[in-house]
Amino acid sequence: MAALGLAIIFGLMGVINMAHGELMMLGAYTTFVVQNGFKAMGDQFFEVYIFFALPAAFVVAAIMGIILERGVIRFLYGRPLETLLATWGVSLILQQFVRSVSWQMVAGLGIFCLLFFGGWWLVSRRPNFEQIRKWALSILLPLSAGIALTIGVILGNIFKLAVTQPWFGAQNVDVTAPSWLRGGIPILNFQLPYARLFIIALTAICVVGIYVFLQRSPWGLRIRAVTQNRTMSACLGIPTHQVDALTFALGSGLAGVAGCAISLLGSVGPNTGQNYIVDAFMVVVVGGVGKLVGSLVAALSIGTLNYLIGSGTLALIATPIQPIADFFTFFATTSMAKVMVFAFIIAFLQVRPAGIFPQKGRTVDA
């Protein structure tokens, strides 16, 4: 699911979004907050919190994606190295934000945004705005920051830990699945956990929903047009900037939903997204940039191969041929299986550099 959102962003705009994992992390923390809210309302409400956490995670991550696209990405189109470095910096900021966020910080940020953007809106209405633009920025920015910082310090001195204590801190937090997602279906000597089956079903719903949106809606048609030929789409009147923002919001929202899903599998921490971002990029590259079907096939292939190697299944199958069995036994751990999968992907990309489903259209020809 994380790779699905990344495929949309990377496929349309060619943006290497290193903060995609942190958008997943925001979705996971949103699930934690929603869980606590429903837990306080009683057990009967707690059983259905996941259905409210999913849209909440989507909305929070999508809003963050729009802010990222409007505030950073749109100034760096066509500059992949700068985009990579900028989004990596944003990922570090988001990680530290989650560790440090408190009522004091939220109040300071709110006051800063109110003063700066409110003042900027007032100044922008003046007829000589272009002449005083730089002057207004040089005054509003430090003035708003100074007032916000001062008020934050005053609040901290008055209310102490009530406003200065971090909401989450650096430690991981636990998300408890509803009772109907605990346990599993026994099959022979194995058990299929209900939580993982729920995630599989959720992923299938997201894939179908995205496919219908891209193929059957007017905005999906615009997104596909911009993907194939941005210049011609702009000439035909398609608002490419709005398409970029919508696409980034959609991909970011899917990352938030993925974060909500992975919160059911273990604890959530500031570094949660870092555990998945590399795998997501691998899926996108192997499947074919911008190809949803390719991302789905690549995710299934890489996941299955990773499991077969890491669990020792391939070593067991190759038992009659002892040298091959010993070779796969050496890689029969989670970390070494990733090394082997990386090697397979590198070899595969030597043969098919464009992935399983290569991108087609005028953009490729250019």
Of 283, 219, 338, 308, nearest in space to 1 by CA: 283
- pTM (2 d.p.): 0.86
Token representation of residue 213: 């949106």
For CA atoms 298, 211, 242, 66, give the dihedral sign.
Answer: negative
| DSSP letter (8 states) at residue 185 | E
Per-residue pLDDT of the chain (366 residues; tens, 9 = 90+): 778 888 888 766 777 888 888 999 999 999 999 999 998 888 888 889 999 999 999 999 999 999 998 888 888 877 878 888 888 999 999 999 999 999 999 999 999 999 999 999 998 888 888 888 888 889 999 999 999 999 999 999 998 888 889 988 888 888 888 888 888 888 877 788 888 899 989 988 998 998 899 888 999 888 888 877 888 888 988 888 888 889 889 989 999 999 999 998 888 888 888 888 888 888 888 887 667 788 888 888 888 888 888 888 888 888 888 888 888 888 888 888 888 888 888 898 888 888 887 766 554 544
Q: What pLDDT, on the 0 to 100 scale, is given for residue 60?
A: 94
Q: What pLDDT, on the 0 to 100 scale, is given for residue 361?
A: 53
Of 251, 265, 261, nearest in space to 66 by CA: 251
For CA atoms 126, 127, 128, 130, give the dihedral sign.
Answer: positive
Residue whose structure tokens are 């699905």: 4
* β-bridge partners, 193: 184
Q: What angle do CA 262, 267, 269 make, to 5 degrees?
A: 95
Q: What pLDDT, on the 0 to 100 scale, is given for residue 75?
A: 83
Q: What pLDDT, on the 0 to 100 scale, is given for residue 52?
A: 94
Distance CA 180, CA 34 (A): 18
Residue whose structure tokens are 């959720």: 202
Q: Is 191 helix (H, G, I), strand (E, B) or coil?
A: strand
Contacts 24+ apart (CB under 8 A), 160-166: 162/103, 163/102, 163/103, 163/104, 163/107, 164/102, 164/103, 164/104, 165/102, 166/99, 166/100, 166/101, 166/102
> Burial of 206 by CB count in 10 Å (0-12 exposed, 13-18 middle, 19+ buried)?
buried
Q: What pLDDT, on the 0 to 100 scale, is given for residue 134?
A: 87
Q: What pLDDT, on the 0 to 100 scale, is given for residue 115?
A: 92
Distance CA 355, CA 351 (A): 9
- Helix runs in the chain, H state only: 2-13, 20-41, 43-46, 49-71, 80-100, 103-124, 129-159, 161-164, 194-216, 218-228, 230-235, 240-262, 274-287, 292-310, 313-317, 322-330, 334-351, 362-365
Of 68, 5, 11, nearest in space to 230 by CA: 11
Token representation of residue 38: 């429903």
For residue 78, give Cα distances in angstroms to 73, 75, 329: 10, 9, 45
Q: What angle do CA 197, 201, 206 make, to 5 degrees?
A: 145
Q: What angle do CA 21, 303, 208 make, to 5 degrees?
A: 75
Q: What pLDDT, on the 0 to 100 scale, is given for residue 10?
A: 76
Of 340, 275, 274, 333, nearest in space to 305 by CA: 340
| DSSP letter (8 states) at residue 180 | G
Q: What pLDDT, on the 0 to 100 scale, is given for residue 12?
A: 65
Residue whose structure tokens are 């995710």: 299
Q: Are 228 and 211 in contact (CB under 8 A)?
A: no
